[in-house]
Amino acid sequence: MVLHAMRATDCATLTEITRVTGLSRPTVEGVVEDLIEAGLVMEKAAEEGAARRQGRPARRFRFRAEAGHLLGLEIGPHRVAALLSALDGRVMGAQAKDVDETASADERLERLRTAVAELLRRAGVPRSSLRAVGVATPGIVEADGTVRLSTALPEWTGLRLGERLSRSFKCPVLVENDANAAAVAEHWKGAATESDDVVFVLAGLSPGAGSLIGGRLHRGYGGAAGEIGALHLLGRGDTPETLLSTTDEPLHPLDEQAVAAVFAKARDGDQRARAAVERFIQRLVHDVAALVLALDPELVVIGGWAAGLDGALEPLRRELARYCLRPPKVALSLLGEAAVATGALRLALDHVEEQLFAVEGTVTARR
Amino acid sequence: MVLHAMRATDCATLTEITRVTGLSRPTVEGVVEDLIEAGLVMEKAAEEGAARRQGRPARRFRFRAEAGHLLGLEIGPHRVAALLSALDGRVMGAQAKDVDETASADERLERLRTAVAELLRRAGVPRSSLRAVGVATPGIVEADGTVRLSTALPEWTGLRLGERLSRSFKCPVLVENDANAAAVAEHWKGAATESDDVVFVLAGLSPGAGSLIGGRLHRGYGGAAGEIGALHLLGRGDTPETLLSTTDEPLHPLDEQAVAAVFAKARDGDQRARAAVERFIQRLVHDVAALVLALDPELVVIGGWAAGLDGALEPLRRELARYCLRPPKVALSLLGEAAVATGALRLALDHVEEQLFAVEGTVTARR
Task: Band the pLDDT of A48: cuts 50, 70, 90.
Answer: low
Question: Which of A201, A294, A214, A206 has its CA nearest to residue A243?
Answer: A206
User: Cβ(B244)–Cβ(B277) under 8 Å?
Assistant: yes
Mutate to test the interface with B, among A296, A319, A323 (most CBs of B within 10 A): A296
Q: Where are the alpha helices (DSSP H) in A38-88?
A: 44-47
Q: Are residues B57 and B75 in the same domain?
A: no
d(CA B87, CA B91): 10
For residue A52, the 8-state DSSP code is G
Contact yes or no for B14/B70 (Cβ under 8 A): no
Mean pLDDT of the region A208-227: 92
DSSP summary character for residue B160? B
Instruction: Give the bridge partners for A114, in sequence order.
Output: none
Please list, in sequence order, all residues whose beta carbon lies within 8 angstroms of the beta carbon of residue A45, skipping any fewer than 6 positions away: A53, A57, A59, A60
Same domain? For A324 and A222 the reply is yes
pLDDT above 60 (res B115):
yes
Residue ending a domain, choose from B20, B38, B63: B63
pLDDT band of residue A334 (cuts 50, 70, 90) is: very high
Cβ within 8 Å of A, B 251-290: 282-283, 285-286, 289-290
For A5-24, letters b (16+ CB in 10 Å) and e give: bbbeeebbebebbbebbebe
Instruction: Please list every residue in chain A whose beta carbon sits closer than 8 Å to the beta carbon of residue B230.
Output: 289, 293, 323-325
Inter-chain touch A226–B297, beta carbons under 8 Å: no
Tell which residue, B95, B132, B87, B89, has the closest CA to residue B116.
B95
Strands of chain A, DSSP E: 12-13, 41-43, 60-63, 69-75, 79-86, 91-98, 130-137, 140-141, 147-149, 173-177, 198-203, 208-213, 216-217, 299-304, 329-332
What is the three-class DSSP state of A257? helix
Residue A194 confidence (pLDDT) above 70: yes
Give the closest-approach CA distance of A240 to chain B in angstroms: 14
Residues whose CB falls within 8 Å of the CB of residue A161, separated by 6 or more in sequence, listed in order: A75, A135, A137, A141, A145, A146, A147, A175
Q: Is residue A113 part of a domain?
A: yes
Q: Can you give the pLDDT at residue B334?
A: 93
Does residue A269 belong to any structural domain of this protein?
yes
Does B178 lie in the same domain as B123? yes
Q: Which of B307, B271, B347, B333 is nearest to B85 (CA)?
A: B347
Q: How far is B346 from chain A (nearest CA, A)?
A: 23
| Same domain assignment for residues A197 and A319 | yes
Disruptive mutation site among A149, A150, A199, A293 for chain B (greatest number of B CBs within 10 Å): A293
Strand boundaries in A244-314, DSSP class E:
299-304
Angle at which helices A313-323 and A271-295 cross, to 10°: 40
If asked whether residues A164 and A38 sit together in one domain, one would say no
Is A137 in the same domain as A232?
Answer: no
Residue B12, number of CB atoms within 10 A of its CB? 24
Give how far B253 is from chain A: nearest CA, Å: 17
CA distance A214 to chain B (A): 9
Q: Which residues of A touch B224 (CB under 8 A)?
A: 293, 296, 324-326
- What one-letter code names the amino acid at B333? S
Strand A329-332 with A299-304, pairing:
parallel
Instruction: Look at residue A361 and tell me if it is in a domain.
Output: no
**Does residue B123 lie in a domain region?**
yes
Neighbours of A51 (CB within 10 A): 6
How many domains does chain A fold into?
Answer: 3
Q: What's the ipTM?
A: 0.82
Please name the helix (run of DSSP H) or strand (run of DSSP E) that holds residue B75, with its range, or none: strand B69-75
The confidence score (pLDDT) of residue B362 equals 46
**For residue A220, which residues of chain B lie inside 8 Å, CB to CB?**
197, 295-297
Half-sphere exposure of A147 (CA within 13 A, CB side): 24
Q: What pLDDT was estimated at residue B360?
A: 46
Nearest to A233 among B223, B296, B323 (CB): B323
CATH for A24: 1.10.10.10
Asked if residues A276 and A244 have their Cβ atoms less than 8 Å apart, the reply is yes
B95 DSSP β-pair partners = B82
Interchain proximity A325–B233, CB inside 8 Å? no
Listed residues B35, B63, B91: the one ending a domain? B63
Residue pair B281/B302 in contact (Cβ under 8 Å)? The answer is no
Measured CA to CA, the distance from residue A251 to residue A259 in angstroms comes to 8
The answer to whether residue B367 is domain-embedded is no
A197:B220 CB<8 A: yes
Q: What is the mean pLDDT of residues A257-261?
A: 79
Residue A340 CA to chain centroid, in angstroms? 4
What is the spatial distance between Cα B334 and Cα B195, in angstroms, rounded to a whole number?
Answer: 14
- Give the CATH number, domain containing residue A219: 3.30.420.40
- Closest of B326, B330, B289 to residue A140, by C-alpha: B326
Whether residue B254 is predicted with pLDDT greater than 70 in this model: the reply is: no
Contacts of B49 (CB under 8 A, 6+ apart): none
Residues A109 and A218 occupy one common structural domain: no
CB A244 within 8 A of CB A232: no
A71 vs B3 pLDDT, higher one: A71
End-to-end, the C-alpha distance of chain B in Å comes to 14
Task: Tell me: do A114 and A44 sit in the same domain.
Answer: no
B262: Cβ–Cβ under 8 A, 6 or more apart, which residues?
B244, B245, B246, B251, B273, B276, B277
Q: pLDDT tens across B194-233, in order? A: 999 999 999 877 788 999 999 999 999 988 898 887 776 6
Half-sphere exposure of A350 (CA within 13 A, CB side): 18
Domain that residue B39 falls in:
2-63
Let me know if residue B363 belongs to a domain: no
Any idea which of A246-260, A332-346, B143-157 has the lowest mean pLDDT?
A246-260
Give me the pLDDT at residue B365, please.
Answer: 38
| The CA-based dihedral angle spanning residues B21, B23, B24, B25, taken in that order and rounded to the nearest 10 degrees | -40
Give the residue from A200, A134, A169 showing the smallest Cα distance to A343.
A134
Instruction: Please say whether the beta carbons of B12 and B365 come within 8 A.
Output: no
**pLDDT tens-digit profile of B298-318?**
999 999 875 466 677 888 888
Residue in B8, B64, B366, B50 with CA at minimum distance from that of residue B16: B8
pLDDT band at A365 (very low <50, low <70, confident <90, very high): very low
- Among B224, B233, B296, whose Cβ lies nearest the Cβ of A296? B224
Of B63, B81, B99, the one marking the end of a domain is B63
Indicate whether B201 and B324 sit together in one domain. yes
Calpha distance B317→B301 (Å, rounded):
11
pLDDT band at B237 (very low <50, low <70, confident <90, very high): low
Report, as an integer, the average pLDDT of B18-24: 89
Same domain, B41 and B171: no
B298 neighbourhood in chain A, CB within 8 Å: 221-222
